[in-house]
Every structure is written in structure tokens, then in C-alpha cells.
């Protein structure tokens, strides 16, 4: 059986623990590969490699770093057909979604290649003759990065691309549940000429690895995409050690559908985005609020669109929604539906697991549930959509902002006034009006409140891997 190996100091290797973790195909339940587990000795080797790699890579010209990242992008693009199959095999999403995610991964590497040579400092206005006062951006140091299982291509790749572009070395841990495509991206970086030690990949016991790496004096920066609970733990540890951190955490995105919009189009777009990756999307739709006058029309169009979804193995032609990625997801959906029933909710579609193999859940639509129910207050991360009516603007804004999550929010309206107001009033870091945009290479992506802090993507995300120094120089002859 295939072993997903560690990558340390330019070499692929088995973990010295001798232990492995099975990688499951969520469409079948079969174990398709084994993950090598790192020991503390392996982590020490990775830390030593990252330390040495930083001294080399930080002194490498930004133009040379950009060339390497461009080659990374070209190799990933060339290998998309095989990487997409690996992503679907281990994570479950349909092949078309896997290919789309890898296209965005290529975009990230290309954009960061360009940004590497745009990391400008500033020349400050002179305060006196013979004075030169400038700021200089430089890489922050070796990075410990932790990537999630739901987007093992783009969320993994954008940490690598930004860190390498800025001149940092890094040790990155992908999810043990979907490591193959992440390893493929690392291999593309290796083949593109990233020097040994600059990029290292480890897997195994997540709690042990994160604690050990963050506590190391080698690590200068922490980046996590994960749950709120894990984010609290890692940010607390990083804070105690005074290490900068970027935390992209959970979301519970509301969608506000106003009665002046194209209701049928809004329903189709919302359904398509809600059930992408079986609802396992941090930016994804979680709560749908529809204005009273168009509520019934929206619900009918939405359910019609959901009914047309074809659920199955993502490897099969025509499948538009794959399985949940793991058994935890099924148990979570069962808990949500139990609460819906207890709270007197109405299930219009789905509400149950399907099939006798894998982790499939029927696309589900529920209504008539209170705002304090399970699905309305906790990130669902699955294919269950609550659709509720609202009366007026102030009412829906209050309900949309009532949670401690603040990652994404969306609205549909033809009114310029309403569009402007929701952009001002919704408490979220990512706001879409009349569209659902995936995370873009050139745009900052980050949340407010319990959804985290800091940014990935755009100049803001690139700067997260830099520090700024001020230099004041005077002419001794004046």
C-alpha cells in the first residue's frame, strides 16, 4: 500500500516512529494509503533544516525566488489531471471541483511569484539635509504552518507560496486525512528548484506536532487554517511566546435575500454554492434569510435546484456532490437533524445518510427552526441548509450579526443603497453582494470575531510573512 511520506531537508522519508495512519476514501470507506508519522526526532531534523534553509533562502534574490515559484506553478498546472484524481480519492469532492481548486492553487503560486518582486519598502520625506530614512521589508523567519483537510490544494498551497515568495522557510503539516495532493504540491516545489531545507512537510499526531513546533525557538511565525477550538489553543501558545500568528478559523455565513432581487437566480446561485464540497467550506452558506414577500418563491426554486444534485462518488461522471470527508461529518449531521426534530423544525428535503458504503448524506433543506437551534448557532460544515424568513433590514442584520463568527456573509439585492449598507453593516471579513466568490490569490481573506485574525491572500497575506525595519541614515559630513 502507498505510504504518504514526510519531506525533510530535501528528502522523502518514513517517520522514525514506525507508526502509520490510514487514509480513507470517503466514497467507499476503503483505506487507500498510509501516512508516515513524525517523531520528535523527525521534527528536530525538520527544524534544523528550516533554520539552515532560511539562512539560504532569505538571502536569495526576490527575482530568483519568483522564477522558482513560476516553475512551481507550471509544474502544478501540468500535473493537475493526476493531482485532481488524488484529491477526489482522499477528500471526496467531484473531479471538476478538484480541478477547479488546483487551478486556483496555480493562480496563487503565480501571483506570489509576482508579489515577491513587489515587496517594496518606503523612502520617507527628508527631515534634514543629508538624511535618508527608509523602511525595508524582510522575511520574518522560519514558519510553522497547518493546513486543513477540506481544501488540501489551495489552502495548503497558498501558505507555501506566500512564505516562499517572502523569503521564509517553512515546516508545513497537511491533514493526515487528505495528504496526497499536498505532497504532490511539495514535490512540484522540489522539482522546481526549491532548495533542500527551505520547505519541509511533516504529519502524524497533530497536537504533538503543533505544540513542539511552535515552542521551538527556530519558529518565528505560525499560520493555521482550522477550527475555532484549535485556533484558540495555538494562538494562546503563540501569544505566550510572542510569535506572530495568522488564524483563519471557522465561519457560519449568512445569506440575505431581499425582495427586490432576481429570486430564481439567487436561489440557483445559493444552492450551487451551499452544496459545493458537500457543504464543507469555511466560506460556504450556512444560514439563509429570505424576505417575506419572496420567501415561498425562493424556497420552491431552491429546493428544485437541490433536487437536481447528483450525489455519488466524485470519480463518476455527472456527480455534482460527493460524500462527506469522514465519519465525523455524518455524526455531526445526525446531531443537527436530531436537534431540528426536537425543536419542531420541518425537513423539506433529505435529512438522512444514504447508501451502505462511504459517508454520503442527502442534500438537506430545513425550515421553521428557531434562531437558537444547533444549526443556526454552530458551524454545520455539511450539506444541511436552513432557510428562514425575515421582515425588514434591521431585523435581518441583527440576526446575521448575532453570532461570534465573522468569516463571510452574502446578500442579494438590486438596490444600490441596500448593497452599500450591507457591506457596511455585516460583521464579516469577506462579503459578497450578488455573487459567491471563492478565495482569490489577489484578495485578502480573513475573519473577524471568533473567525480569526490576520489575512491570507493578497498583499496583506503576503505581508504576514514579512517584518518591516526602519533605517535612518545621516551624512557625517554635514
Active site residue 248: yes
Fold of 253-433: Aldehyde Dehydrogenase; Chain A, domain 2 (3.40.309)
Answer yes or no: is pLDDT of 145 > 80.
yes
Mean pLDDT of 430-446: 93
Residues of the chain with CATH 3.40.605.10: 3-249+447-470
C-alpha–C-alpha distance, residues 277 and 108, integer Å:
20
CB 397 within 8 A of CB 415: no
E strands in 50-92: none
Please report, rounded to a whole number, the percentage of residues in the chain having pLDDT higher than 70.
100
Note the pLDDT tens digit of each residue in 57-94: 999 999 999 999 999 999 999 999 999 999 999 999 99
Strand partners, 34: 3, 22
Mean pLDDT of 446-475: 95
CATH, range 3-249+447-470: 3.40.605.10
Please report, rounded to a whole number, the percentage of residues in the chain having pLDDT higher than 90.
96
Residue 62 CA to its chain's centroid (Å): 26
Answer yes or no: is pLDDT of 21 > 90.
yes
DSSP conformational letter for 361: B
DSSP conformational letter for 126: P
Marked catalytic residue, from 248, 379, 427, 456: 248
Give the number of other CB atoms < 10 A from CB of residue 362. Answer: 18
Answer yes or no: is pLDDT of 477 > 80.
no
The predicted structure's pLDDT at residue 130: 86
E strands in 267-383: 285-291, 346-349, 364-367
CB 309 within 8 A of CB 273: no
Residue 470 CA to its chain's centroid (Å): 33
pTM for the model? 0.96
Q: In whole angstroms, how far apart are CA 411 and each of 34, 158, 217, 252?
A: 43, 27, 45, 14
The predicted structure's pLDDT at residue 478: 61
Q: What share of the chain is helix, strand, coil (3-state, %, to 5)?
A: 40, 20, 35
CB 441 within 8 A of CB 158: yes
DSSP conformational letter for 363: -
Element of type H or E holding 209: helix 206-215
Question: How does residue 437 score in pLDDT terms, banded at 50, 70 and 90?
Answer: confident
CB 332 within 8 A of CB 382: yes
Cell of 442: 489577489
Most confident of 128-132, 216-220, 352-356: 216-220
Note the pLDDT tens digit of each residue in 104-113: 999 999 999 9
Cell of 399: 440576526
Task: Give me the chain's average pLDDT, please.
Answer: 96
Marked catalytic residue, from 112, 168, 189, 282: 282
3 state SS of 199: strand
Question: How does residue 129 score in pLDDT terms, banded at 50, 70 and 90?
Answer: confident
C-alpha–C-alpha distance, residues 326 and 356, integer Å:
14
Note the pLDDT tens digit of each residue in 347-395: 999 999 998 999 999 999 999 999 999 999 999 999 999 999 999 999 9
Residue listed under C-alpha cell 525557538: 217
3 state SS of 103: helix
Question: How does residue 133 score in pLDDT terms, banded at 50, 70 and 90?
Answer: very high
Q: For residue 245, which of 256, 257, 233, 255 has the smallest C-alpha distance?
A: 233
Active site residue 282: yes
Note the pLDDT tens digit of each residue in 163-198: 999 999 999 999 999 999 999 999 999 999 999 999
Question: How does residue 1 score in pLDDT terms, banded at 50, 70 and 90?
Answer: confident
- 42-73 burial string, b = 16+ CB within 10 Å, else e? bbebbbebbbbbbeebbeeebeebbebbbbbb
Beta-sheet strand order (sheet of 122-123): 122-123, 131-139, 466-474
Residues of the chain with CATH 3.40.309.10: 253-433
C-alpha–C-alpha distance, residues 372 and 440, integer Å:
33
Note the pLDDT tens digit of each residue in 257-266: 999 999 999 9
Note the pLDDT tens digit of each residue in 271-291: 999 999 999 999 999 999 999
Q: For residue 382, which of 261, 256, 285, 264 has the smallest C-alpha distance?
A: 285
The predicted structure's pLDDT at residue 475: 87
C-alpha–C-alpha distance, residues 163 and 67, integer Å:
15
Q: For residue 248, which of 444, 458, 463 has the smallest C-alpha distance?
A: 444
The predicted structure's pLDDT at residue 83: 98
CB 106 within 8 A of CB 188: no
Mean pLDDT of 334-355: 96
Strands 20-24 and 31-36 turn out to be: antiparallel
Amino acid at each position: 500500500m502507498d505510504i504518504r511520506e514526510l519531506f525533510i531537508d530535501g528528502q522523502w522519508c518514513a517517520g522514525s516512529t514506525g507508526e502509520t495512519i490510514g487514509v480513507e476514501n470517503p466514497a467507499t470507506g476503503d483505506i487507500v494509503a498510509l501516512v508516515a508519522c513524525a517523531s520528535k526526532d523527525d521534527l528536530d531534523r525538520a527544524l534544523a533544516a528550516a533554520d539552515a534553509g532560511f539562512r539560504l533562502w532569505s538571502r536569495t534574490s526576490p527575482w530568483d525566488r519568483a522564477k522558482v515559484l513560476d516553475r512551481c506553478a507550471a509544474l502544478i498546472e501540468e500535473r493537475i489531471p493526476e493531482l485532481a484524481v488524488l484529491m477526489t480519492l482522499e477528500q471526496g469532492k467531484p473531479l471538476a471541483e478538484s480541478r477547479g481548486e488546483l487551478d486556483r492553487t496555480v493562480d496563487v503560486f503565480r501571483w506570489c511569484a509576482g508579489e515577491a518582486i513587489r515587496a517594496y519598502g518606503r523612502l520617507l520625506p527628508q527631515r534634514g539635509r543629508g538624511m535618508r530614512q527608509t523602511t525595508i521589508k524582510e522575511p520574518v523567519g522560519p514558519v510553522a504552518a497547518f493546513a486543513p483537510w477540506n481544501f488540501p490544494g489551495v489552502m495548503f498551497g497558498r501558505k507555501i507560496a506566500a512564505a516562499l515568495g517572502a523569503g521564509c522557510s517553512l515546516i508545513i503539516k497537511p491533514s493526515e486525512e487528505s495528504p496526497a495532493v499536498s505532497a504532490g504540491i511539495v514535490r512540484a516545489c522540489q522539482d522546481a528548484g526549491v532548495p533542500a531545507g527551505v520547505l519541509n512537510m511533516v504529519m502524524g499526531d497533530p497536537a504533538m506536532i503543533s505544540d513542539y513546533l511552535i515552542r521551538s525557538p527556530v519558529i518565528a511565525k505560525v499560520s493555521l487554517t482550522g477550527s475555532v477550538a484549535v485556533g484558540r489553543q495555538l494562538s494562546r501558545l503563540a501569544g505566550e511566546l510572542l510569535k506572530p500568528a495568522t488564524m483563519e478559523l471557522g465561519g457560519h455565513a449568512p445569506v440575505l435575500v431581499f425582495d427586490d432581487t432576481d429570486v430564481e437566480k439567487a436561489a440557483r446561485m445559493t444552492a450551487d454554492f451551499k452544496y459545493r464540497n458537500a457543504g464543507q467550506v469555511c466560506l460556504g452558506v450556512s444560514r439563509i434569510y429570505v424576505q417575506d414577500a419572496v420567501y415561498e418563491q425562493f424556497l420552491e426554486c431552491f429546493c428544485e435546484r437541490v433536487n437536481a444534485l447528483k450525489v455519488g462518488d466524485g470519480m463518476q461522471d455527472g456527480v455534482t456532490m460527493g460524500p462527506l470527508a469522514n465519519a465525523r461529518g455524518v455524526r455531526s449531521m445526525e446531531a443537527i437533524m436530531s436537534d431540528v426534530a426536537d425543536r419542531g423544525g420541518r425537513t423539506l428535503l433529505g435529512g438522512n445518510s444514504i447508501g451502505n458504503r462511504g459517508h454520503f448524506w442527502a442534500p438537506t433543506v430545513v425550515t421553521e427552526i428557531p434562531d437558537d437551534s444547533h444549526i443556526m448557532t454552530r458551524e454545520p460544515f455539511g450539506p444541511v441548509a436552513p432557510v428562514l424568513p425575515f421582515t425588514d433590514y434591521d431585523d435581518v442584520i441583527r440576526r446575521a450579526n448575532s453570532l461570534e463568527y465573522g468569516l463571510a456573509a452574502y446578500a442579494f439585492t438590486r438596490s444600490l443603497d441596500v448593497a452599500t449598507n450591507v457591506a457596511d453593516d455585516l460583521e464579516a471579513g469577506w462579503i459578497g453582494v450578488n455573487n459567491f466568490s471563492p478565495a482569490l490569490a489577489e484578495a485578502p481573506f480573513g475573519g473577524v470575531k471568533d473567525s480569526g485574525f490576520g489575512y491570507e491572500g493578497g498583499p496583506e497575506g503576503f505581508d504576514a510573512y514579512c517584518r518591516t525595519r526602519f533605517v535612518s541614515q545621516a551624512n557625517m559630513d554635514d
